[in-house]
Amino acid sequence: MPQEPHRATARCLDILEYLAAAGAGCTLTELSEALGAPKSSLFPILHTLADRKYVHLEDGKYTVGIGAFTLGATYSAGRDALELILTVMAQVVEECQETCQLAVRDLGNVLYIGKVDSPQAIRMISHVGTRLPANATALGKALLSGLTDQEVAALYSGGLPRLTEHTITDLSVLLGQLSQIRGGGVAWEREESNHQLGCYAVPLRQKGKVFAAISVTVPLFRSDPNTERTVRESLLRAQTDIERLATEKSFHLERLAT
């Protein structure tokens, strides 16, 4: 069953949302009437928000404060980072003519947060916001390479999930692949998450920590040694470009993973 919202937290968010919409500012009385809440319950919340600079009080009226602006700017920076990465991914698609995807890790799963579609008439169908078991995808393996073997084992203490008959469910095999990726290799899978599809991926690191991964998915009927070589080379170039941007722009993509 869905959990009831925490009343005090909800009231705090109600205040901020109302002030943001009001624009010109509101008195305590106006907020009380608009939110249907007694002034005695609103005042201590407003006092705390003002103390933390999330609201500003001037001439008896409350407005949104610099603290809330800072939070919004931080999220905007994440969106800007995503747009920069998508630009690099578009170049990958131009070079490979196949779909390129961006993901972050959500515990033992992959969360897809960006995608540039292939121009091909027959291409992979996928959606941003989808989650899949990390062990069954090239993106997931690239992301898991940022963990130690012990952390990976703890993550899948109940066993590795299976999506197809080709999915790796032997932890030692998975760890062997992760070791190769940590050494600079390209992650790959063949029909482990979807039939008739192969996928290649590289981790994206910032200050030595994996913060995301990008992949290229190729239908097997279009896959051959030349295609595989093109995809791998394109992904490694994109990895270098994005990691350089991550250092310059201080990316924080984990803020987009909710």
Q: For residue 75, name the pLDDT band (cuts at 50, 70, 90).
A: low
Q: What is the rounded average pLDDT of the residues 201-217?
A: 94
pLDDT over threshold 80, residue 79: no
Percent of the chain residues topping a pLDDT of 70: 88
Q: For residue 258, name the pLDDT band (cuts at 50, 70, 90).
A: very low
Give burial (CB, 10 Å; 0-12/13-18/19+) of 219. middle
Strands 187-190 and 209-219: unpaired
| DSSP code of residue 221 | G
pTM summary value: 0.68
Q: What is the rounded average pLDDT of the residues 1-5?
A: 59
Sheet holding 131-133, edge to edge: 131-133, 109-116, 99-106, 209-219, 197-206, 187-190
Q: For residue 146, name the pLDDT band (cuts at 50, 70, 90).
A: very high
Round to whole Å and give the CA distance between 54 and 20: 11
In the predicted model, what is the mean pLDDT of the chain? 87
**pLDDT at residue 22, as a whole number:** 79
**pLDDT at residue 129, as a whole number:** 79
**pLDDT at residue 122, as a whole number:** 64
Q: Nearest-CA neighbor of 17 among 64, 49, 77?
A: 64
* Per-residue pLDDT reduced to its tens digit, 89-137: 999 999 999 999 999 998 899 999 889 988 877 666 667 778 899 999 9
Round to whole Å and give the CA distance between 242 and 143: 15
Collapsing DSSP to helix, strand or coil, 152 comes out as helix
Sign of CA dihedral 115, 116, 121, 122: negative
Q: What is the rounded average pLDDT of the residues 214-223?
A: 93
Q: For residue 77, name the pLDDT band (cuts at 50, 70, 90).
A: low
pLDDT over threshold 80, residue 185: yes
| DSSP code of residue 5 | P
pLDDT over threshold 80, residue 155: yes
Contact between 144 and 123 under an 8 Å Cβ cutoff? The reply is no
**pLDDT at residue 143, as a whole number:** 97
Q: What are the angstrom distances between the C-alpha of 74 and each of 80, 183, 214, 234?
A: 10, 33, 23, 30
pLDDT over threshold 90, residue 156: yes
Q: Nearest-CA neighbor of 119 among 147, 95, 150?
A: 95
Residue type, 235: L
